[in-house]
Amino acid sequence: MKHFDGSACIYAFAPHMQPIGSVSPGERFTVMTHDCFHEQIQTEGQTLSEIDYDRLNPATGPIFVDNAHPGDLLKITLHDIRVADRGIAIVVPGEGLLGHHVENSMVKIIPINGTHCTYKGLNLPLAPMVGVIGTAPSEASGTWGTASPWMHGGNMDTKDICAGNILYLPVNTEGALLALGDCHAAMGDGELCFTGLEVQAEVELTLELIPGAAQKWPVLETLEAYMVIASGDTVDDALYEASFQAVTMLASCLDMTFEEAYLLASLYVDLKISQVVDPKKTVRAAVPKSVLSETHRASLFRGDNVIPSEKK
Amino acid sequence: MKHFDGSACIYAFAPHMQPIGSVSPGERFTVMTHDCFHEQIQTEGQTLSEIDYDRLNPATGPIFVDNAHPGDLLKITLHDIRVADRGIAIVVPGEGLLGHHVENSMVKIIPINGTHCTYKGLNLPLAPMVGVIGTAPSEASGTWGTASPWMHGGNMDTKDICAGNILYLPVNTEGALLALGDCHAAMGDGELCFTGLEVQAEVELTLELIPGAAQKWPVLETLEAYMVIASGDTVDDALYEASFQAVTMLASCLDMTFEEAYLLASLYVDLKISQVVDPKKTVRAAVPKSVLSETHRASLFRGDNVIPSEKK
């Protein structure tokens, strides 16, 4: 199985990047990912002033996907996320949603043992996920640091980006140029203090292409739902955008008027928080599969079914 | 079983209200609730200009709870919510998160058959919940229309307020003065278009008292989590308040510093959207029971464990 060892990584998603290697559609491969600190934190006694902030959120890649062309949709199936045997979480004054209540920095190295981690005497379950995953942004979108989420993906910090689920990202340039990193062994919706349980990991995945079906925002498919993942300057802004996308998706799939789909969404679409602490905030609007027939689902990513972006 | 038939209801939660009857702690009883339109909508051909807006969101009550004193916590166990055989949902220009996209009003009378409803040829599952439920607010808090959520409860539109779960509300006055209404047969997190599937219902419940343990915000207990339900002018404001409560709850229960609890919350507390369309927006911060031992859970609502409110 092809393996990317993490020796080459990026700190920004740019429209033009030099690929480190390539994969074919349908090929199963593995990627070693760094923790969000690029392993600069090794002991609890370290002070954060020692850290080079230009090396945060490394994403392994970019990986060229053979035959990926602008306008295609990249279908990413996540098979497994194997996390390291310890993770890091930190608290910093001023950081995260409640950072002004924090008086002292705290670095915690948290042991991981199979399916659980241990913190302050508590034995807590793991739920590994990928924090940063994205493709080259469009020229119009420009360059985005790996700390930020946007239409190309990036630091979405969405805990449903986990093994068993499928992520759909836009292809904006030849080869798509996928990169990923910043795995978390556990994270709550919100990522309150601005770190999850930050870990090195090995991610096993397969990429496929859906020609001419690019969406404006990432879409995540779980066992139960299609989730539009949108970001904005505030949670309120992100909720607006994700909601508009979900209602438009329903109207298009079910051949309903906007009003009819809006009503249906009010009864069945769940708005969910991804993270509230990155430079842009991220939410997801979950359209349950139960409202869509097999035929509807098949039409979801047709080439003629592109959902436009909408600003208030 | 004692039964309140819905003939007496309120449109505002006030510090001083005249009770319509009383129940004893531990007594199982039923309450008939009106739909949010007070049954003013009977056909799809009606125009909304015919509606008396002063009669929206009726809450059956207030019900006096014997031996309830200010400072107690009212424990409300919801046993069952039996909904009518049809529900109403409407779309109105300017209303809800995406209301400026709506060109025409639409009234839908939606048939309900046992566990499902039928809309536009789709057979959709029900998930009955209580939209409005509250106690008399404190004098300091003042009077709140039933359309708004706040610290006393009210129009929280939180879909986990459903059969099988337990809601904890503050007791601010003698007898607590509980009232409830505005049940939904189905609603997505967010309540995008500003109505759920609005129904008349019969709610079966039991009330108990925990002396001297009032919380500042409602708390909901599900099989898996304790959820602090907080509201604010924006979703961002509500998320801040709910998060602060959850972190303070964890710090208190687990005897941790604020920083230690903040870190734990970042890994395990889920921020969830309740509704984004009422006069105040409502969210919930879910603390999973898996991080709390039986001892911790028992200490959650101790009289000496009151969580203060906090404003940014």
**Any idea which residue has 């602090």 for tokens?**
B228
The partner residue sitting opposite B262, judged by closest CB among A192, A263, A265, is A192
Q: Rounded CA gap, A213 and A210, in Å?
A: 6
Structure tokens at A66: 């053979």
Task: List, by residue range, all CATH 3.10.28.20 domains of chain B.
Answer: 219-298
What is the pLDDT, as a whole number, of residue B250? 93
Cβ within 8 Å of B, A 46-75: none
CA A242 to chain centre: 15
Asked whether the predicted pLDDT for residue A258 surpasses 80, the reply is yes
Residue B13 forms contact with A (CB below 8 Å): no
Structure tokens at B102: 């709506």
Asked whether the predicted pLDDT for residue B293 surpasses 70, the reply is yes
Sorted by sequence, the CB contacts under 8 Å of residue A242 that are 6+ apart come out as: A217, A228, A229, A230, A271, A283, A284, A285
What is the pLDDT, as a whole number, of residue B310? 43
What is the pLDDT, as a whole number, of residue B302? 63
Residues of B in contact with A126 (CB under 8 A): none
Collect contacts of B139-142 with beta carbons under 8 A, ≥24 apart: B139/B15, B139/B172, B141/B15, B141/B172, B142/B15
The partner residue sitting opposite B243, judged by closest CB among A89, A124, A192, is A192
- Are A207 and A169 in contact, with CB atoms under 8 Å apart? no
Asked whether the predicted pLDDT for residue A308 surpasses 50, the reply is no
Residue A12 forms contact with B (CB below 8 Å): no
pLDDT tens per residue, range A131-177: 999 999 999 999 999 999 999 999 999 999 999 999 999 999 999 99
Q: Rounded CA gap, A252 and A298, in Å?
A: 12
Between A258-268 and A235-254, two packed helices, what is the crossing angle to 10 degrees?
A: 120
Q: Rounded CA gap, A247 and A287, in Å?
A: 9
pLDDT tens per residue, range B77-119: 999 999 999 999 999 999 999 999 999 999 999 999 989 999 9
The enclosing H or E element of B2 equals: strand B2-4
Q: What are phi and psi of A221, to 5 degrees?
A: -110, 120
What is the distance in angstroms between the Cα of A292 and the nearest Cα belonging to chain B? 9
What is the pLDDT, as a whole number, of residue A62? 98
Residue A261 forms contact with B (CB below 8 Å): no
Q: Rounded CA gap, B291 and A19, in Å?
A: 43
Q: Rounded CA gap, B178 and B19, in Å?
A: 9
SS3 track for chain A: CEEECCCCEECEECCCCCCCEEECCCCEEEEEECCCCCCCCCCCCCCHHHCCHHHCCCEEEEEEECCCCCCCEEEEEEEEEEECCEEEEEECCCCCCCHHHCCCCEEEEEEEECCEEEECCEEEECCCEEEEEECCCCCCCCCEECCCEECCEEECCCCCCCCCCEEEEECCCCCCCEEEEEEECCCCCECCCCCCCEECEEEEEEEEEECCCCCCCCEEECCCEEEEEEEECCHHHHHHHHHHHHHHHHHHHHCCCHHHHHHHHHHHCEEEEEECCCCCEEEEEEEEHHHCCHHHHHCCCCCCCCCCCCCC
What is the pLDDT, as a whole number, of residue B297? 80
Task: List, by residue range, all CATH 2.60.120.580 domains of chain B.
Answer: 2-37+52-83+127-210
pLDDT tens per residue, range B31-63: 999 999 999 999 999 988 889 999 999 999 999
Sorted by sequence, the CB contacts under 8 Å of residue B284 that are 6+ apart come out as: B158, B160, B220, B227, B228, B229, B230, B242, B271, B272, B274
Asked whether the predicted pLDDT for residue A188 surpasses 50, the reply is yes
Residues of A in contact with B103 (CB under 8 A): 259
Binary contact (B187, A244; C-beta < 8 A): no
Task: List, by residue range, all CATH 2.60.120.580 domains of chain A.
Answer: 2-210
Binary contact (B267, A235; C-beta < 8 A): no
Q: Rounded CA gap, A58 and A40, in Å?
A: 12
Q: Rounded CA gap, B92 and B107, in Å?
A: 9
The mean-pLDDT minimum among A39-43, A295-299, B97-101, B266-270 falls in A295-299
**Of A216 and B227, the one with more pLDDT:** B227
Residue B214 pLDDT class (50, 70, 90 cuts): confident
Q: Count of residues for chain B?
A: 312
Binary contact (A187, B240; C-beta < 8 A): no
Asked whether the predicted pLDDT for residue B240 surpasses 70, the reply is yes
Between B235-254 and B258-268, two packed helices, what is the crossing angle to 10 degrees?
A: 120
Mean pLDDT computed over A35-55 = 92
CA A47 to chain centre: 29
Asked whether the predicted pLDDT for residue A47 surpasses 90, the reply is no
**Of B103 and A309, the one with more pLDDT:** B103
Structure tokens at B249: 């709850």
Q: Rounded CA gap, A107 and A91, in Å?
A: 7
Q: Provide the mean pLDDT of chain A.
A: 94
What is the pLDDT, as a whole number, of residue A297? 80
pLDDT tens per residue, range B154-184: 999 999 999 999 999 999 999 999 999 999 9
The enclosing H or E element of B259 equals: helix B258-268
| Domain range A2-210, CATH architecture | Sandwich (2.60)
Q: Provide the mean pLDDT of chain B.
A: 94
Q: Rounded CA gap, A231 and A275, in Å?
A: 9
Mean pLDDT computed over B242-261 = 94
Q: Which of A263, A283, A284, A290 to mutate to test the interface with B (most CBs of B within 10 A)?
A: A263
What is the pLDDT, as a whole number, of residue A303? 46
Sorted by sequence, the CB contacts under 8 Å of residue A101 that are 6+ apart come out as: B244, B258, B262
Longest dimension (CA), chain B: 59
- Are B149 and B231 in contact, with CB atoms under 8 Å apart? yes
Sign of CA dihedral B159, B162, B164, B169: positive
- Are B186 and B237 in contact, with CB atoms under 8 Å apart? no
This model of the complex carries an ipTM of 0.95
Sorted by sequence, the CB contacts under 8 Å of residue B110 that are 6+ apart come out as: B86, B87, B88, B89, B117, B118, B119, B197
Return the closest-CA partner of residue A245 out of A160, A150, A153, A310.
A310
What is the distance in angstroms between the Cα of A152 and the nearest Cα belonging to chain B? 24
- Are B63 and B20 in contact, with CB atoms under 8 Å apart? yes
Residue A312 pLDDT class (50, 70, 90 cuts): very low
The mean-pLDDT minimum among A11-25, B170-184, B298-312 falls in B298-312
What is the pLDDT, as a whole number, of residue A18? 98
The matching CATH number, chosen from 3.40.50.880, 3.40.50.720, 1.10.760.10, 2.60.120.580, for B2-37+52-83+127-210 is 2.60.120.580
Q: Rounded CA gap, A224 and A164, in Å?
A: 12
Structure tokens at B8: 């007496």
Asked whether the predicted pLDDT for residue A271 surpasses 80, the reply is yes
Nearest Cα residue in chain B from A289: B124
pLDDT tens per residue, range A287-303: 999 998 788 887 777 64
What is the distance in angstroms between the Cα of A282 and the nearest Cα belonging to chain B? 12
Query: What is the DSSP secondary-structure string of B42-87?
Result: -STT--GGGS-GGGSS-EEEEEEETT--TT-EEEEEEEEEEE-SEE
- Fold assignment, A219-298: Endonuclease I-creI (3.10.28)
